[in-house]
Amino acid sequence: MAELDRIPTPHIEAKAGDFADLVLMPGDPLRAKYVAEHYFEDARLVTSVRNVLGYTGTYKGKRVSVMASGMGLPSIGIYSYELYKFYGVEKIVRIGSAGAINENCKIMDIVLAEGACTTSRWAEMYKLSGTYAPTATWDLLYKTYTTALDLGTKVHVGNVVSTDAFYDDDTSAMDGWKKMGVLCAEMETAGLYMNAARLGKKALGIFTISDEIYSGRELSAYDRQTAFTEMMVLALETHLRDK
């Protein structure tokens, strides 16, 4: 249930009921704008605080929202918490970019994050007696995987790592994650998964590989904004099947 007395929140200016049950969440506000303009019918801007854009519309007749998360666990932590807690959003699917660690993951490949390791100390706020393992919501992961099979979209499924640092002084920082079979690195999903678990909501991270950490190959900023159409369609088509 939404907590209507807390709306608008400090970071979202939308009114109660402005968001759909599902919010797609790219990091980049311009990617959110791209999704709304190219895939939504009757797209409406519902929030733009700090230029973090959020839209609601319909996709093939089904209501859906998209909103940027910004970069890093603290940023997605704020926005996902407010959406889950105060706006009554039930599902958030992160549609982001990631850097490939595993040699089988190549530029423009799609990864579904079954689990999200992290270098962040985010879980310490929960005062747990051990190490928490953030994981995707199983039914979202399963439905997205089966939708990918039906669409003929190749996906990798496995562990990712959500890092705090984009520029790491340790040039070998990814070596340990690579030897443990982690597929790619990004900066948000572990925080999203922990918020979802704490609040009894659903979450999934879907990524398009934008760069290969070990080979040095990478996409341009413009491509990261506009070229991830296969991932966007996968998330939206899964939403149509989700009851």
Q: Which residues make beta-bridge pairs with 24?
A: 66, 93
Q: Are 119 and 165 spatial neighbours (Cβ–Cβ below 8 Å)?
A: yes
Active-site option among 164, 211, 223, 242: 211
Letter string b/e over residues 189-210, b meaning 16 or more CB atoms within 10 A of that residue's CB: bbbbbbbbbebebbbbbbbbbb
Which uninterrupted H or E stretch holds 240? helix 229-241
Residue 42 known to be catalytic: no
The residue length of the chain stands at 243
Q: What residues contact 239, with CB distance under 8 A and at least 6 apart?
A: 22, 59, 62, 64
- List, by residue number, the catalytic residues: 211
